[in-house]
């Protein structure tokens, strides 16, 4: 439910920002992807058959794992095309994950967004 509320809020915030500055459809979709990616942890837990969600092995909620993945993709894109603008755009899912993090601060879930480096659970 948190992802749905965050997605709808981001949709309306980006619609309001669209009147002030241009945000491309690709960037919007990447931000929405960053908001929806934490659902991957729930799906992964369901597939593995784990009942308890707070086992600490959160991959899609982690800024470190997500940052490394998107940074590698951005660097590879920059090496291939030598254009810095579109390669920075590839980091947009981290903005969506940050938006999801802000919404998760006000919930009762004790999620570890800084997973392998720190064991800080903010809620």
Neighbour count for residue 44 (Cβ, 10 Å) = 14
1 or 10, which is more confident: 10
Residues with Cβ within 8 Å of residue 49, at least 6 apart in sequence: none
pLDDT in tens, 87-99: 999 999 999 988 9
Work out the average pLDDT over 93-112: 82
Residues with Cβ within 8 Å of residue 72, at least 6 apart in sequence: none
Q: Check whether 41 has a pLDDT greater than 70.
A: yes
pTM for the whole structure:
0.82
């Amino acid at each position: 439910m948190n992802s749905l509320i965050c997605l709808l809020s981001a949709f309306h915030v980006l619609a309001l920002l669209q009147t002030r500055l241009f945000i491309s459809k690709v960037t919007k979709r990447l931000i929405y992807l960053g908001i929806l990616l934490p659902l991957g942890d729930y799906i992964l837990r369901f597939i593995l058959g784990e009942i308890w969600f707070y086992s600490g092995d959160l991959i899609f909620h982690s800024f470190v794992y997500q940052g490394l993945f998107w940074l590698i993709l951005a660097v590879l894109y920059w090496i291939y095309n030598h254009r810095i603008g579109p390669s920075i755009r590839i980091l947009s899912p981290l903005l969506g994950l940050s938006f999801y993090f802000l919404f998760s601060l006000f919930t009762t879930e004790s999620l570890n967004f800084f997973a392998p480096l720190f064991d800080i659970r903010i809620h």
